[in-house]
Amino acid sequence: MSNVKINLRGDVREFPSGVTGYEVAQSIGAGLAKAACAVSVNGEVRDLRLPIEEDCELTVLTFDDADGKHAYWHSTSHIMAQAIQHLYPQTLFTIGPAIENGFYYDIDCDVTFTPEILEKIEDEMKKIIKEDLPIERYALSREAALEKMSSNPYKVELISDLPEGEEISFYSQGDFTDLCAGPHIMSTGRIGAVKLLNVTGAYWRADANNKMLQRVYGISFPKASQLNDYLTMLEEARKRDHRKLGRDLGLFAFRDEAPGFPFYLPKGMVLKNTLIDYWRGVHKRWDYVEISTPQIMKRTLWETSGHWDHYKDNMYTTVIDDEDFAIKPMNCPGSILVYDLAPHSYRDLPLRYGELGLVHRHELSGALHGMFRVRCFTQDDAHILLAKDQIKDEVIRIAQLFDEVYSLFGLKYKIELSTMPDDHIGSVEDWDIATAALADAITSIGKEYTINPGDGAFYGPKLDFHISDCLNRTWQCGTIQLDYQLPGRFNIEYTGDDGEKHTPVMIHRVVFGSIERFIGIITEHFAGAFPTWLAPVQVKVIPISEKHVEYASKVLAELESNGIRAEADFRNEKMGYKIREAQLQKIPYMLVVGDKEAESGTVSLRSRRSGDEGTVAIDEFIRNIREEIDSRAL
């Protein structure tokens, strides 16, 4: 039998051809083999059981790796399905994938799964885990697979959609078998701790014309302590839920009369406008000019841009004077029309258009989620027209702007490079050049990135900036999309230094992603206790009694004349009640005034951060808070 050379992070070892990833892990150490969830062979994630018959680079993936987690959670979804099969044998199973945090399984069952039933399923899962059942993989022909799954119409449909002639893999553990591409861990006993979280409804294949299924969500970890930490984080996240905080703090609301369309309340408008003012200041410093383009434009525009063919299902359309129009889902075609209003030369480039454009996208009702997923939002767009030799410098410049913005909010981030999807326009050569340009720009400034294959926009590759909040949850906000296609489709040009006409390249980029989503993110990140510069109300003035209202009014007027957002509580309520309510509203500062303060021209200062801070002169307080606001301190 011939041997294969396997490179294990620089350590090259020889193994008999046909060795499995699990056997390689065993050769390194029993601890690694026990922790192994999958392997990466020349960058491809593979099952531990598959034979290796070629020289390769191999990495053993554990729960600490993203792809290892995926295999671990996918395996747990099968354990959940097996437990459900034991308790409710009539259940039909559809798909049960791993997701970003845990797993789910969509099931067709006449029994409605209550919290009590989830506990039963969880107990049954623990029995299956304790049995330490080996998980085995095998493959069948299409015909044999259809016969095996003939009693489950959902699996039959999935198999029927697979390419002709392809072997179809199954995984078995004890009395349970599932159609699955894998990879999976070696046995059920490798799961340390498990928790079923909740049940929601989900249409089969996300099609509202299909049957509504039950989607059961869960999570698992190698150690019980990891599960406890995760559940603690979930509880903290519930306390920070932006939908509840938005309502309690008077920021925004949602109504059944307009599903997916947010209503901004007065304090929410202060927050939004403060963010926008900051955005405008940053972009002015970085040499952007602001434009505004129409909400509704003709179908012909969207056909030229490619959106009509590639994005129409997400667009709202209307008919005006017997012509088809669309409400814009994106701002980019409008920026091109602005560019095309005047001739340009190489001396004008890069030309940076910023636009706070209100866009509308049709989202399925089941996908709507507070400010995180809405049907209309203000996209903090910019479109940059430039020459090809300017790409690297401009991407560096944009990345530096992003770093400035995210650092202000105390948000760390990671960068992901998304490459060409199947549904793309333009030549592969152009895509390769564009992708390499983005990668080169990021690495040249010492930043790292990961590859997200096939997830680029249909017109070009992109860099996505995933920010992490205080609970280490990640959110995709900023994006830099390089587009060789759209300028050519609209035939826009500039005159080069050679006197010839050239087609510019277009960069699409957003920093916040959308104002609405970013507001949702920072509401949870700060738990509603916004930094003073962002807080809708920065100071609450509280007179001790009615006779102190006159002095409180003077304090209020002085604050407002210094550009400080302040309110006074003149209600005939007890002091403790007023202070408690201001605390619940998460107002950064409270100024309590009575006889002593009125006589001395001072205020009794209470801060959200430190509580009672004693007596301070009003001009000193104004000087300090102005410095805090002007520096945009966290």
Q: Which residues are catalytic?
A: 332, 361, 379, 381, 383, 462, 508
Identify the CA nearest to 333 among candidates 297, 358, 288, 363: 297
Identify the CA nearest to 452 among candidates 466, 440, 441: 466
Q: Do the beta carbons of residue 102 and residue 72 sit within 8 Å?
A: no
Identify the CA nearest to 575 among candidates 598, 554, 591, 564: 591
Which residue reads 């706070």 in tokens? 356
Residue 407, Cβ neighbours under 10 Å: how many? Answer: 12
Q: Which amino acid is at 67?
A: D
Q: Which amino acid is at 20?
A: T
Identify the CA nearest to 474 among candidates 282, 249, 246, 237: 237
Rg, C-alpha atoms of the chain: 29
3-class SS at 418? strand
3-class SS at 619? helix
Q: Report how far Cα 237 is from the mean position of its chain's Cα atoms.
A: 15
Identify the CA nearest to 302 among candidates 363, 351, 359, 346: 359
Cα 618 to Cα 141: distance, rounded to the nearest angstrom: 82
C-alpha torsion angle, residues 52, 56, 57, 61 (rounded to 10): -10
Tokens standing for residue 592: 């309590």
Tokens standing for residue 155: 């699996």
Q: Which amino acid is at 246?
A: G
Cα 78 to Cα 74: distance, rounded to the nearest angstrom: 7
Q: Which amino acid is at 482?
A: L
Tokens standing for residue 343: 């001739």
DSSP E strand stretches across 361-498: 376-386, 412-418, 449-452, 462-468, 474-483, 494-495
Length of the chain: 634
Cα 106 to Cα 366: distance, rounded to the nearest angstrom: 15
Tokens standing for residue 6: 């396997």
The runs of H, that is alpha helices, within 163-202 are none
C-alpha torsion angle, residues 606, 611, 616, 618 (rounded to 10): -30
Identify the CA nearest to 36 among candidates 187, 219, 230, 226: 187
Tokens standing for residue 605: 């200062």
